[in-house]
């Protein structure tokens, strides 16, 4: 069974990476949807460099449900 995870980011700092590291090994992919008003370019670069992470820019805060739905649709499209 292939397992995808999703995380919705909202104006995060680099500490979110240590949180992600606690569960990423349990997943085949992690879809990180950035719901931030202010982009953290350093964090974005680090996420994009991670092999298991798919980074999606939500182009601002469009609500948590919108971000979760984007992640779910992508996971389904990729047959997770």
Q: Is 6 exposed, middle or buried (0-12, 13-18, 19+ CB in 10 A)?
A: buried
Reported pTM: 0.94
Quick one: average pLDDT of 39-65? 96
Predicted pLDDT at 58: 95
Percent of all residues in the chain with a pLDDT value above 70, rounded to a whole number: 100
Quick one: average pLDDT of 51-73? 97
Does 1 have pLDDT greater than 90?
no
SS3 assignment, position 36: coil
17-42: per-residue pLDDT in tens? 999 999 999 999 999 999 999 999 99
């Amino acid at each position: 069974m292939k397992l995808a995870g999703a995380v919705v980011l909202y104006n995060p700092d680099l500490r979110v990476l240590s949180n992600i590291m606690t569960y990423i090994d349990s997943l085949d992919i992690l879809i990180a949807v950035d719901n931030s008003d202010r982009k953290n370019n350093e964090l974005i670069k680090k996420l994009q460099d991670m092999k298991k992470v798919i980074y999606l820019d939500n182009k601002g805060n469009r609500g948590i449900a919108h971000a979760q739905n984007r992640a779910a649709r992508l996971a389904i499209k990729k047959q997770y």
